[in-house]
Amino acid sequence: DGGITQSPKYLFRKEGQNVTLSCEQNLNHDAMYWYRQDPGQGLRLIYYSQIVNDFQKGDIAEGYSVSREKKESFPLTVTSAQKNPTAFYLCASSVPGQRNTEAFFGQGTRLTVV
């Protein structure tokens, strides 16, 4: 079945550590996105990528980094520079450049700083 897989589902991080969230898709989509969701709030765009080896900052990119070495993979690193990383992180993919195509989402990773 085609879809997006995020791992792990739950992640605990000590202060000062970097952690990497995995996102893999087999939908053959060119565009991939990372969103952050805080409790009771909407989704805010962190980074997005249209093609391999290219990505752009979203609205809240500070303290995060990404890579896009393969079409199917778009990992997100939460660095120690991110002051308040505890949140729910959602990865999505879509066909770029077409207004009528929805984004498909993974199951999310819940990150907690301990």
Q: Which is nearer to other proteins, 71 or 105 (CB)?
A: 105
How many residues appear in the chain?
114
Which of positions 39-98 make contact with other proteins (CB under 8 A)? Answer: 40-45, 48, 50, 58, 88, 90, 92, 94, 96-98
Residue of the chain from 24, 29, 32, 33 that contacts other proteins (CB under 8 A): 33
Considering the complex, what minimum distance in angstroms separates the CB of residue 21 from other proteins? 14
Q: Does 2 bind other proteins (CB under 8 A)?
A: no
Burial of residue 75, with CB atoms counted within 10 A of its CB: 0-12 exposed, 13-18 middle, 19 or more buried: middle
CA distances from 69 to 36, 43, 51, 78, 100 (A): 22, 25, 9, 18, 27
Q: Which is nearer to other proteins, 75 or 104 (CB)?
A: 104
- Residue ranges in contact with other proteins by CB under 8 A: 31, 33, 35, 40-45, 48, 50, 58, 88, 90, 92, 94, 96-105, 107-108, 110
